[in-house]
Amino acid sequence: MLVVLVLCLLFAFFAPRLYRLLGRYVAIPMAILPFGIFVYLLSFFPEVLRGSYIIQLYKWVPALGINLQFRLDGLSLLFGLLITFFGGLIMVYAAGYLKDNPLLGRFYLYLTLFMAAMLGMVTSDNLFCLFLFWEITSITSYLLIGFDNKNVKARSSAWQALLVTGMGGLALMASFILINLATGSYTFTELLAQNTSFSGHSYFAPALILLFLGCFTKSAQFPFHFWLPNAMAAPTPVSAYLHSATMVKAGIYLLARMSPVFAGADAWGYTLVVIGGCTALLGAFLALQHTDMKAILAYTTISALGQMVMMLGLGTTVALKAMLVFLLAHALYKGTMFLAAGAVDHCTGTRDITRLNGLARLMPVTALAATLAALSMAGLMPFFGFIGKELLYEAALSSKIYVWLVFGLTFLTGIVYVAVAVVLSFGIFWNKVKHPTKLEHAPGYMLYLPPFILGFLGVAFGLAPKIAVTPILERAVQSISRGELVELELALWHGFTKELGLSVLTIILGLLLYKALKFVQSRYAILNPVYNLGPERLYHKAFDGFLVFAKKLTMVLQNGNLRRYIIYLILFFSALMFYVLWHDTPHILFASRVVIIQELPFHDVVIFVLVSSALFYLLGTRSRLTSIVVMGLVGYSAALIYIMFGAPDVAATQFLIETLTVVIFVLLLHKLPAFIYLSHQFKKYNYIAISILFGTVMTYTMLVVQDHTIESELKTYYGQTSLLEAHGRNIVNVILVDFRALDTLGEITVLAVAALGVFALLRMQPEKGEKP
């Protein structure tokens, strides 16, 4: 797996260069890559079908349990095949869709990167490995939504998607850590192998809630659904790939993976059913309201995701089967419809269904593909969607909790799907009008072939489910139902059953809803006040509030007055020290100190007098030059003290730094205005008080440290090994460059950054009217 991912990365980062070399033929290598991986994954097919799974381990941080461990079982393989096959088609489609875009190379970079992350995510076995790929999908999604970076709406939508899914990602990491703490396992394989559920553990509830947060934000479940319709600002290939077929199903994937671990708990089932049900209904409800093709598709996607979550919540074998079959069917038809919608948008310049009419004659293949997909979506007889719908009804009717609610929701969304399918196929392509919409240009084969292939697969899978999809789906169900072997029988014809009757009823009611659509849409205006209270509004409020808060905080803490920065630092440090000293007050024997003071050698007294008189002089002086020189005097005195205690290295450094400080100050001096007291005299006393406070705290701390010396073996260790192992007699330097070299590396990096910061600060030209 790692080889595949590295290959993807290589292809991704060479894409812009390839684009420069090949022009728009860059699509050829970029499409060969996913199809190649598809074939590679197929080679694991026989082994997975035998019921075993493949594990590949690459060590990364074994001490923390973070490894690149990959696991390929039924579920992973299903997702992997879906991702790569879709990816290949999308690569081809994108070349047609973004034909004239000069940034096509960059687009392929993002898209391939996303594909790699997605592949890594569905195959990773290690929890933290999964988290890594999960976050990469969020970031690439952000880049892809904001691909049209000159468009304000695209940018803000990208932000929104990143913030919402990023927040979920953080929650997910916390959840993984809790799961790891509670069960001690780092991988899914270990988690699944543990027979005892950890539902009794005190970390169970928080882990579950955080997991839900992560999955629901990623899969656009209510109340986080709002980012998905906004994400439709992305180019259509992206919407089709990320926001209907793959990335939004990442949450579903993770829930499915985790379901054997959590499924025993009541909280799991009820939460998923309620949230999934809400989302399914809400998505279906809002889909009817819109006239933009992509918006309609986005809301039906949300609704379908809700259904999948609901099925996961039911947790019975038939529900899991239904979930997976529906997932596959949905990916096929929704992908097709998105691609067809993109082709229509590209050729006519609009996506508004009220302005699109009778396009079938002008773009026949696209029309055919869209119709095949729509029929699958509506759940008509020979299509794969029909099998999915039958199974959904069966699962809903056999539900153990809220039977009528679950079934009612499934039925209602089914009706809406029929209506939407008719709108998007008949309404746009086939209805007879006198003036069909004019095309700006005919669709190229790159625009109509990919949706056609997908649409055709929907029929093929429906006609021959036994050969095409049953084996892999069977293994996928097996891998999410605690390894029980399940028989999956997919067939078009089950005889005259309850479900068949319900399907027919759904279609009839759906057609009626289509007829009444105009009326329904005219009534939606009543609901507008409700939307103002929705979660999206909340998001915007929180976002703006955050910005205002950050600005205010910065105004208080960093208002440009450098003195204040130092004061905050000192006060905060003193408060911390106070807190620590308050909590466990150490004993200091002041009597022994007095003795030490009496025995003070003469040169110490001289330095003390020097420093303190210099400091008193400093308080009174008004000349900058004088104060700098006096400060230098204080610094040199400190260096003298170092020498007396036998630390020549430190003393030398101190001398040099003092010299440099004085020189730098002198360089800057002539640029500063004359020294004037602007603030009130009272402020000066404030500063004096703060200085005395800090000095007291530091002195006290020093005394405490001296009284409680920690015996450490480090000193002797360094002393012994310095010459023998590190070939140096100067222990200070050996520690710096050998024993603790990593620390030094960090310090010099900080120095470099600080120098660049000084450069940036001094060279930044303040704009007109702004504070420097």
Residue owning tokens 């809002």: 286
Among 583, 727, 768, 771, binds another protein (CB under 8 A): 727
In the complex, the smallest distance separating the C-beta of residue 760 from another protein, rounded to whole angstroms, is 9
174/732 with CB nearer another protein: 732
Q: Quick check: 668 binds another protein (CB under 8 A)?
A: yes
Q: Confirm if 2 and 70 have CB atoms less than 8 A apart.
A: yes
Q: Quick check: 678 binds another protein (CB under 8 A)?
A: no
Measured from the Cβ of residue 168, the count of other Cβ atoms closer than 10 Å reads 24
Cis-peptide into 260, omega within 30 deg? no
- The residue count of the chain comes to 772
In the complex, the smallest distance separating the C-beta of residue 765 from another protein, rounded to whole angstroms, is 13
Q: Quick check: 755 binds another protein (CB under 8 A)?
A: yes
Measured from the Cβ of residue 684, the count of other Cβ atoms closer than 10 Å reads 12
In the complex, the smallest distance separating the C-beta of residue 667 from another protein, rounded to whole angstroms, is 5
Residue owning tokens 């002089």: 617
Q: Confirm if 287 and 267 have CB atoms less than 8 A apart.
A: no
Number of residues that bind another protein (CB under 8 A): 40
Token pair belonging to 474:
């069977």
Q: Quick check: 758 binds another protein (CB under 8 A)?
A: yes
Token pair belonging to 753:
């950054």
In the complex, the smallest distance separating the C-beta of residue 670 from another protein, rounded to whole angstroms, is 9
In the complex, the smallest distance separating the C-beta of residue 750 from another protein, rounded to whole angstroms, is 10
In the complex, the smallest distance separating the C-beta of residue 733 from another protein, rounded to whole angstroms, is 4
Q: Confirm if 701 and 582 have CB atoms less than 8 A apart.
A: no
3-state secondary structure of 58: strand
Only one of the segments 54-62, 434-442, 674-682, 757-765 lies at the binding site for another protein (rule: CB under 8 A); that segment is 757-765
Among 667, 672, 676, 678, binds another protein (CB under 8 A): 667
Task: Kindly give the residue spans of alpha helices, DSSP state H, lying in 516-647.
Answer: 517-523, 528-531, 535-557, 562-583, 590-598, 602-620, 624-644
Q: Quick check: 738 binds another protein (CB under 8 A)?
A: yes
453/726 with CB nearer another protein: 726
Q: How many CA atoms lie within 13 A of 721 on its CB side?
A: 12
Which amino acid, 108? Answer: Y
Q: Confirm if 245 and 283 have CB atoms less than 8 A apart.
A: no
In the complex, the smallest distance separating the C-beta of residue 631 from another protein, rounded to whole angstroms, is 18
In the complex, the smallest distance separating the C-beta of residue 656 from another protein, rounded to whole angstroms, is 4
Among 442, 609, 656, 688, binds another protein (CB under 8 A): 656
Q: Quick check: 64 binds another protein (CB under 8 A)?
A: no
Q: Quick check: 10 binds another protein (CB under 8 A)?
A: no
The C-alpha atoms of residue 16 and residue 714 are separated, in whole angstroms, by 53
648/719 with CB nearer another protein: 648
The contact mask relative to another protein for 370-399 (x = CB under 8 A, - = no) is ------------------------------
In the complex, the smallest distance separating the C-beta of residue 578 from another protein, rounded to whole angstroms, is 34
307/722 with CB nearer another protein: 722
Among 28, 516, 664, 689, binds another protein (CB under 8 A): 664
The C-alpha atoms of residue 112 and residue 8 are separated, in whole angstroms, by 6
557/750 with CB nearer another protein: 750
Token pair belonging to 460:
């093929």
3-state secondary structure of 713: coil
CA distances from 193 to 196, 256, 317, 412, 648 (A): 9, 16, 19, 39, 61
Q: Quick check: 533 binds another protein (CB under 8 A)?
A: no
The C-alpha atoms of residue 32 and residue 17 are separated, in whole angstroms, by 17
467/748 with CB nearer another protein: 748
Query: Which residues share a beta bridge with 70?
Result: 56, 124
According to the 3-state scheme, what is the secondary structure of 211-232? HHHHHHHHCCCCCCCCHHHHHH
Q: Confirm if 313 and 276 have CB atoms less than 8 A apart.
A: yes
657/692 with CB nearer another protein: 657
Q: Quick check: 609 binds another protein (CB under 8 A)?
A: no
The C-alpha atoms of residue 422 and residue 520 are separated, in whole angstroms, by 15
The C-alpha atoms of residue 579 and residue 532 are separated, in whole angstroms, by 47
Among 729, 767, 768, 770, binds another protein (CB under 8 A): 729
Residue owning tokens 């809301």: 299
3-state secondary structure of 281: helix
Closest CA to 253 of 191, 174, 308: 308
Q: Quick check: 671 binds another protein (CB under 8 A)?
A: yes
45/655 with CB nearer another protein: 655
Q: Quick check: 571 binds another protein (CB under 8 A)?
A: no
Measured from the Cβ of residue 760, the count of other Cβ atoms closer than 10 Å reads 9
Among 431, 653, 701, 721, binds another protein (CB under 8 A): 653
Residue owning tokens 């009284």: 707
Q: Quick check: 659 binds another protein (CB under 8 A)?
A: yes
Among 50, 150, 434, 763, binds another protein (CB under 8 A): 763
497/720 with CB nearer another protein: 720
Among 352, 544, 604, 649, binds another protein (CB under 8 A): 649
Q: Quick check: 730 binds another protein (CB under 8 A)?
A: yes
Closest CA to 27 of 215, 360, 35: 35
In the complex, the smallest distance separating the C-beta of residue 409 from another protein, rounded to whole angstroms, is 56
182/732 with CB nearer another protein: 732
Q: Quick check: 748 binds another protein (CB under 8 A)?
A: yes
The C-alpha atoms of residue 93 and residue 37 are separated, in whole angstroms, by 18
Q: Quick check: 569 binds another protein (CB under 8 A)?
A: no
In the complex, the smallest distance separating the C-beta of residue 663 from another protein, rounded to whole angstroms, is 5
Among 184, 648, 695, 719, binds another protein (CB under 8 A): 648
Per CB under 8 A, which of residues 707..726 are in contact with another protein?
726
**CA pseudo-torsion sign 30, 34, 39, 43:** positive
Only one of the segments 16-24, 129-137, 503-511, 659-667 lies at the binding site for another protein (rule: CB under 8 A); that segment is 659-667
Residue owning tokens 């009130």: 680
Q: Quick check: 62 binds another protein (CB under 8 A)?
A: no
Q: Quick check: 600 binds another protein (CB under 8 A)?
A: no
Only one of the segments 54-62, 162-170, 240-248, 749-757 lies at the binding site for another protein (rule: CB under 8 A); that segment is 749-757
Among 205, 550, 576, 657, binds another protein (CB under 8 A): 657
Among 485, 619, 663, 689, binds another protein (CB under 8 A): 663
Q: Quick check: 732 binds another protein (CB under 8 A)?
A: yes
669/689 with CB nearer another protein: 669
Give, as one character, the DSSP assignment of residue 429.
I
The C-alpha atoms of residue 407 and residue 393 are separated, in whole angstroms, by 7
CA distances from 400 to 202, 244, 319, 388 (A): 27, 29, 11, 20
Q: CB burial class (10 A; 0-12, 13-18, 19+) of residue 234?
A: buried
The C-alpha atoms of residue 725 and residue 351 are separated, in whole angstroms, by 73
289/721 with CB nearer another protein: 721
In the complex, the smallest distance separating the C-beta of residue 659 from another protein, rounded to whole angstroms, is 6
Q: Quick check: 652 binds another protein (CB under 8 A)?
A: yes
555/668 with CB nearer another protein: 668
Q: Quick check: 612 binds another protein (CB under 8 A)?
A: no
Q: Quick check: 577 binds another protein (CB under 8 A)?
A: no
Q: Confirm if 107 and 147 have CB atoms less than 8 A apart.
A: yes
Footprint of another protein (CB under 8 A): 648-649, 652-653, 656-657, 659-660, 663-664, 666-668, 671, 726-730, 732-734, 736-738, 741-742, 744-745, 748-749, 751-752, 754-756, 758-759, 762-763
